[in-house]
Amino acid sequence: MDTRLHNSAFLKACRGEHTDHTPVWLMRQAGRYMAEYREIRAKTTFLGLCKTPELAAQVTLDAQRILGVDAAILFADLLPILEPMGFTLTYEEGEGPKIHNPLRTRADIDGLKAPDPRQSMPFVGEAIGIIRRELPADIPLIGFAGAPFTLAAYAIEGGGSKNYIHTKTLMLGDAGAWRRLMEHFTRQITDYLLAQIEWGVQAVQLFDSWVGCLSPEDYRDHVLPWVRKVIAAVKGKVPVIYFGTGTATLLPLLFNSELKTPNSEPDVIGIDWHTPLQRGWELGAKSVQGNLDPVCLFAPREVVLRKAGEVMQAAKGRTGHIFNLGHGILPKTPVDNVRALVDFVHGAGS
């Protein structure tokens, strides 16, 4: 790895090392709140944007350049990995993703395909190649994938859900089928992340967006072992960030010494705004990412900076803090507030 990348503030923070300033990047930093993104998005569908390397690269690069953040994150989505497995995926305007043939039975699980992402998703590799060539030499690129439970929940429910009835029914009612499904998704996710590393990303984030719907016991018994398998397969190659929402009661299990398997803890734990930032270090994390409430960015500028200052104060005196939001930037967020936030974090020291 180029020494400029190795010594970047973001990667140093991932390793728990001292940095001259607190690195900052923001989930969904490329999105509808930016005029530049809307202009590109108007040319194609959302899935078309994800699958067109030049356009995916452009929105990735635009966000890093406009905001001045310390890392770029690949513009993609959690769900296109499902298409090569046999799912029919569309993105409905105003409704989000929809899977038209949701998985409900053992036969559905047995019929899943297991293609190599290097062959089935070449557009991701092409986008990473373009981005890496165009990014400044000291700016890392983050790749990502959905975690096994979150991908399974999308595949089973067929879209958004409030209660995850179908997912929990399968998980709790048919242990053998659930295990086969988790094995399948764990292999596919691992292969996908390893491919992204081969293609040129410097870190990866595992998104467990829906895992907060689980009780600690169900997370421990049915989900955590598979999260650990993905992390263990990737860790050591690049830093691994694990992020979920509503995880306040789940994080202690992630760092529970009695549940550990070798090299299965994330390098960085992402914290949402429901959980105090310092809780990550208290649990034993080396590095912590988070955790400003993204809705704060709609408030007057002075409020945004005050709330950001509270996050910075929570990390004061600790190494290994990566400033981020507690979830992704929302549509219609004022861009000037986002820029001011990044400037504030950079100016506040480490």
Annotated catalytic residues are 28, 32, 41, 77, 154
Q: Are 170 and 99 in contact (CB under 8 A)?
A: no
- In whole angstroms, give the CA distance from residue 115 to residue 172: 28
- In whole angstroms, give the CA distance from residue 329 to residue 292: 10
Residue 275 CA neighbour count, 13 Å, CB half:
28
Q: Are 77 and 147 in contact (CB under 8 A)?
A: no
User: Over the Cα atoms of the chain, what is R_g?
Assistant: 19
